[in-house]
Amino acid sequence: MKHQDQVVLVTGAGQGMGQEIVRHFADAGAKVGAVDINKEALTASVDELNGSVNGEVIAITANIAKSDSVRDAIAAVVEKFGRLDVIINVAGVGSFDTFIDTPDEHWDKVIAVNLTGTFLCCREAAKVMTKQGSGSIINVSSTAALTGEGPSHYCASKAGVMGLTRSISRELAASGIRVNTIIPGPTNTPMMADVPDEWTQKMIADIPLGRMGESEDIAKVASFLACDDSGFITGQNIAVNGGMAFI
């Protein structure tokens, strides 16, 4: 199996894209630390997966916007499995605010989870991977960061993720660590369920391939970036959006 015994940590693993990525890697034989702030949803997901996948999945409740919580989550994976080969930073939040009416607390929360949380996860994972001399860090941005079609806090946070990837990929390359970003287009996830239907239909109309993305589309690209097939790829922002926007 492609990821046999590879140790992977996935944030935002309780539902949607993160949950599917956990399933994809565990099906391929990986040992996965599934991280989410929602303990109930995470536990239910992991219990279901462990009865149906080839690898092993453990549930870790954590708030990725808090450095101590991130440190503890990564330590739990290393303690259980002995190493950390891949981290996939999926966790994200958003809210539907116009720029002028964005409350401070909404801006702070979106930046804290989407950008600061990704930074903290990258930093703590890199500490482990540097000692190993290898690793793959995979961040998740959004096509909204390319088009600007979305709330300002969300677009800014996801654009920041791409800049973070470019910077740390250069710094970490000498340690054998690759860092890349996946940029999904509109994807069928629980987060999209809150988007008004007229917005959804407009987004689909803007996608040349004529459909929404599926979580499996993202999981397959993450799988590629996590294995030796992509061994000469780092610092890249890879759009998986049906042709909706270009980098």
pLDDT band with cut points at 50, 70 and 90 for residue 164: very high
- Examine the pLDDT at 190 and tell me if it is beyond 90: no
Residue 228's pLDDT is 95
* C-beta of residue 88 within 8 angstroms of C-beta of residue 9: yes
Which option is the CATH number for 7-236: 3.40.50.300, 3.60.10.10, 2.60.40.3680, 3.40.50.720? 3.40.50.720
Instruction: Give the closest residue to 192 by CA, choosing from 168, 209, 211.
Output: 211
Q: Has residue 239 got a pLDDT over 90? A: yes
**1 pLDDT exceeds 80?**
no
* pLDDT over threshold 80, residue 40: yes
pLDDT for 240 beyond 90: yes
Does pLDDT of 183 surpass 90? yes
Question: Is the whole model's pTM more than 0.95, yes or no?
Answer: yes
Distance CA 227, CA 238 (A): 16
Q: Is the pLDDT of residue 177 over 90?
A: yes
From the CB of residue 151, how many other CB atoms can be counted at a distance below 10 Å?
A: 19
Structure tokens at 59: 């549930």
154 in catalytic set: yes
CA distance 199 to 203: 6
Q: Tell me: pLDDT of 192 over 90.
A: no
Q: Where are the strands (E) in 42-81, listed by range?
A: 56-61
At 68 the three-state DSSP class reads helix
* pLDDT class of 31 with cuts at 50, 70, 90: very high
Task: Select which of 25, 55, 154, 215 is catalytic.
Answer: 154
49 versus 196: the higher-pLDDT residue is: 49
Structure tokens at 240: 């998986």
Q: What Cα–Cα distance (Å) separates residue 88 from each residue in 50, 196, 208, 243?
A: 19, 28, 27, 23
Q: Is 90 exceeded by the pLDDT of residue 24?
A: yes
103-136 pLDDT per residue, tens: 999 999 999 999 999 999 999 999 999 999 999 9
